Amino acid sequence: MITGSIVALVTPMHKDGSLDWERMDELVEWHIESGTKAIVPVGTTGESATVDIPEHCEIVKRVVSVVNGRVPVIAGTGANATSEAIELSLAAQNAGADACLLVTPYYNKPTQEGLYLHYKTIAAALKIPQILYNVPGRTACDMLPETVARLSEVDGIIGIKEATGIMNRCTEILELCGDKMVVYSGDDLTSLDLILKGAQGSISVTANVAPAKVSQVCELGMSAFAAMEESGQEGRAQEMISAAKSLDAELVGLHKNLFLESNPIPVKWAVEQMGKIGDGIRLPMTRLSTRFHEPVMSAMKQAGVDV
């Protein structure tokens, strides 16, 4: 099982928008050293919408090579066409990725039956596990808990990244799916709360900036939940909950301010200020507006980030 802090990795680029492979390698090493438990290349934060298919496949292949089995690699392979999602997923499988993260089809607004058949068809084509990804704020497509429950019965589908930030929605999925589906938070601001209800980690934007601290919060939260499930461990659980909340309080500014403009605009600016990537980003994404520099920097300092 893939658990803990899972970074939704930014894609380093040069000023002209070309891919910066050297910085990519360095980022992967830094995340592993910092305690990140798994890496997601070419998700939303990795600008999957603006890289072409050969670049997409090459990024996954490169990350898999650099990771070299030290942590799981979950390749972002979602698309709004089922055939394209299969193409990207097969390429990730052939590259040696450990799993695929498949965002709901965007723009074309499929029905719930369409979503079910989309994911079932992809699963039939793959040998590696798949994680669903629901983020209706970006896709204009909301996969309902009942559909998630249906998909939990499909071989190969092992989890969901639920990014609505709606706690009742997340707990309903946990209740409906039980141990058939691993739930990951896709909303940094509510990740700890969801982990304390049984989620197995966070696929995180904030982890790009403060990976060690995000990893600590996830581990404490998961340990606290496990302790709550054991008889006589209430005191130990409360100690871990308190420690996790204290650490997470230092990250709240990042959880909020990394979304002052569309992701990944603020997070790429933040990682650039840390000296870990250059200033490249692809249109239609632009560099962070000047008026947001101070609040993002303030949040970084609040989190103890070295800038």
Percent pLDDT > 90 in the chain is 95
Q: Give whole-number Cα distances, 50 to 18, 79, 108, in Å.
A: 11, 12, 18
User: Token pair for residue 189?
Assistant: 């601001």
**Using one digit for the tens of pLDDT, what is the confidence trace for 86-116?**
999 999 999 999 999 999 999 999 999 999 9
Give the C-alpha separation, 19 to 13, whole Å.
4
- Look at residue 1 in the predicted model and tell me its pLDDT: 82
**Using one digit for the tens of pLDDT, what is the confidence trace for 201-243?**
999 999 999 999 999 999 999 999 999 988 888 899 999 999 9
Query: pTM (2 decimals)?
Result: 0.96
User: Token pair for residue 215?
Assistant: 């990893």
Distance of CA 167 to the CA centre of its chain: 17
User: Token pair for residue 292?
Assistant: 């947001």
288-298 exposure pattern, b = at least 16 Cβ within 10 A, e = fewer: beeeeeeebbe
Question: What's the DSSP call for residue 135?
Answer: -
How would residue 182 be classed by pLDDT, with cut points 50, 70 and 90? very high
Q: What is the mean pLDDT of residues 283-302?
A: 98
Give the C-alpha separation, 234 to 218, whole Å.
19
Q: Has residue 21 got a pLDDT over 90?
A: yes
Percent pLDDT > 70 in the chain is 100
Q: Is 119 a catalytic residue?
A: no
Query: Catalytic residue among 37, 133, 213, 268, which?
Result: 133
Q: What is the mean pLDDT of residues 71-88?
A: 98
Query: Catalytic residue among 37, 61, 161, 268, which?
Result: 161
Give the C-alpha separation, 79 to 148, whole Å.
18
What is the chain's alpha carbon radius of gyration, rounded to the nearest angstrom? 18
Of 169, 163, 170, 161, which is closest to residue 196 (Cα–Cα)? 170
How would residue 39 be classed by pLDDT, with cut points 50, 70 and 90? very high
Q: What is the mean pLDDT of residues 252-260?
A: 98
How would residue 17 be classed by pLDDT, with cut points 50, 70 and 90? very high
Q: Is 133 a catalytic residue?
A: yes
Give the C-alpha separation, 29 to 171, whole Å.
34
CB atoms near residue 63 (< 10 Å)? 26
CB atoms near residue 49 (< 10 Å)? 13
Question: In the block, which residue shows the tokens 């790009």?
Answer: 208
Q: Has residue 5 got a pLDDT over 90?
A: yes
